[in-house]
Amino acid sequence: MFETIKNSSSGMKTYYLMWLGQMVSVLGSGITSFAVGIWLLGETDSVTSFTMVAVITGLPAIIFSPIIGALVDRYDRKLILIFADTLSALVTLGLAACFYFDMLNMWIIFIGVGISAIATAFQGPANIAAITTLIERKDYGRVSGLMQMIGSISLIAGPLLAGALLAFVDLFTIFIIDLVTFVFALCTLLLVKIPKPEPYEGAEEESNMWQEIKVAWNYLFQQKDLVYLLLFFCLVNFVVSMGTISIVPMVNFTAENWQTGLVLSVGGIGSLVGASYLAWSGGPQRKINGILFGGLAMGICLFIMGMSNMIWVVMIGLFLFQFCVPTINGSSQVIWQTRIPPKMQGRVFALRRMFAQFTIPLGDFLAGPLADYVFEPVMRSENAVSNFFGPLIGTGPGRGIGLMLILLAALPVLFAVLGFMNKHIRNIDEANDDDDASPDQEADDTKAQTA
């Protein structure tokens, strides 16, 4: 590992330092997220209040994506990353103060999460766009794997550390730990130098932000295969968001906090193994295969997790599910980084996030009421549905959510099959190969398309 870093290009060495800061910061956020989620479930005994955190987390990135993307392309991406980390740290400090003075409640958490989500909405496109200016194209796949590893490490260590810490300390200490990790990430950002891309479209003439957004919009919708890929992720993200947000309450209905943390950590191990594979190999040669076969596997995993409330069954399903996620996301990221010119990536990636992920808050929001008022009551009482499914998956607390996962499982499989049948999605790698073959032609085409 150290030999690899030593022999890396200067851009990769810079990225490794950024990666270290991000990993520590995301780990701190993972600890806090799990601890706050358990606190909310304990205080409200409501799946809906738990899922609302995820809804609020996703909304700012969707609502403000076009504006954020234009700002990322206009201004120094390093400064934007520093601003985002600083804002998140201030939110954590505020939540810590509220808990210390016994003022913390569900609504304050919602407000804090919303502000922090705005900061995260800036981080996503700014981080990816900054990385594109640092590294060579041949390293896209491996760097994508390293990026996925950050989330994987957080998934493993976050719940375990939070579960262990909550046995000895209160939520205030968790917030302070998170604050320290933000400071560490800020220090690493201050040490690195991130190159600036070519001036944004319209920099040499009078151009306002809305014109820049329009240029990115027009460019994106000229790429028909990417639009179809966006639609695929839009549909899959809706199903996956409903499924994954429900796992914690499903397990927590019948398990201790440390067992719930253990289940999530095993899922994190699956994600880490998948991310390590991606970082080592660069992913499948045909990136679209990694996306579509991953979608098929996700559906099977949701089915496994819904079949039983036994912890080891859920662990197996979540491990395999999370193993697929890095390859799916990493393959998609390589396709987009290869196709979109660096000077437009802030805007286009923000639009990509808006369209691909706008269904995630919807799925998160629907999961709570459906669990609280439809599936859980049905599987906890005597009726035709529980009599039919009960012998197969059991009845009682958590089994309603299990039934919901089983019904959802068919949809990612269906979407993946439709993806293979759609020639624009199926052949998207060939379009990327054409771009790779002639960099000069790519530049000329870009000028023509964005004029």
Whether 54 has a pLDDT exceeding 60, the answer reads yes
> Could you identify the residue written with the tokens 């479209």?
201
- The closest alpha carbon to 26, from 271, 195, 215, belongs to 271
Average pLDDT (119-126) is 82
Which phi-psi region, left, alpha or beta, contains residue 208 (left: φ > 0; alpha: ψ -120 to 50)?
Answer: beta
What is the SS3 string spanning 148-187? Answer: HHHHHHHHHHHHHHHHHHHCCCCHHHHHHHHHHHHHHHHH
Structure tokens belonging to residue 23: 């990993």
- Residue-level pLDDT at 59: 79
Which of residues 207 and 325 earns the better pLDDT score? 325
User: Can you tell me the distance from the alpha carbon of 216 to that of 73, in angstroms, rounded to the nearest whole number?
Assistant: 11
pLDDT value at 76 more than 90: no
How deeply is 1 buried, as exposed, middle or buried, from its count of CB atoms within 10 A (0-12, 13-18, 19+)? exposed
Q: d(Cα 80, Cα 233) in Å, to the nearest integer? A: 27
Round to the nearest angstrom and report the end-to-end CA distance of the chain: 45
Neighbouring CB atoms inside 10 A of 444's CB total 11
Q: Kindly tell me the number of DSSP H helices and DSSP E strands found in the chain.
A: 22, 0
Instruction: Give the model's confidence band at 432: pLDDT under 50 very low, under 70 low, under 90 confident, else very high.
Output: low
Tell me the pLDDT of the chain averaged across its residues: 81
202: left (phi > 0), else alpha (psi -120 to 50), else beta?
left
Q: Decide: residue 380, CB within 10 A, 0-12 exposed, 13-18 middle, 19+ buried.
A: middle
Predicted pLDDT of residue 402 = 92
274 vs 268: CA distance, rounded Å: 10
Contact 324, 301 (CB under 8 A): yes
415's torsion region: left (phi>0), alpha (psi -120 to 50) or beta? alpha
Long-range contact set of residues 165-168: C-beta below 8 Å, sequence gap at least 24 = 165/31, 165/35, 166/35, 166/38, 166/257, 167/258
pLDDT digits (tens, 9 = 90+) for 273-321: 888 888 777 778 888 888 999 989 999 999 999 998 888 999 999 999 9
* Mean pLDDT for the stretch of residues 325-351: 82
**CA triplet 354, 155, 144: central angle to 5 degrees?**
55
Handedness of CA 240, 85, 186, 174 (dihedral sign): negative
| % residues pLDDT > 90 (the chain) | 20
What local confidence, expressed as pLDDT, does residue 444 receive? Answer: 37
Q: Which two tokens stand for residue 145?
A: 């794997």
- pLDDT tens-digit series, residues 138-191: 777 777 777 777 877 777 778 778 878 887 888 999 999 999 999 999 998 888
Q: Determine the Cα–Cα distance for residues 451 and 441; give it in Å rounded to an integer.
A: 15
Query: Which domains are present in the chain?
Result: 11-194+216-438 (1.20.1250.20)
Is residue 367 within 8 Å of residue 249, measured between CB atoms?
no
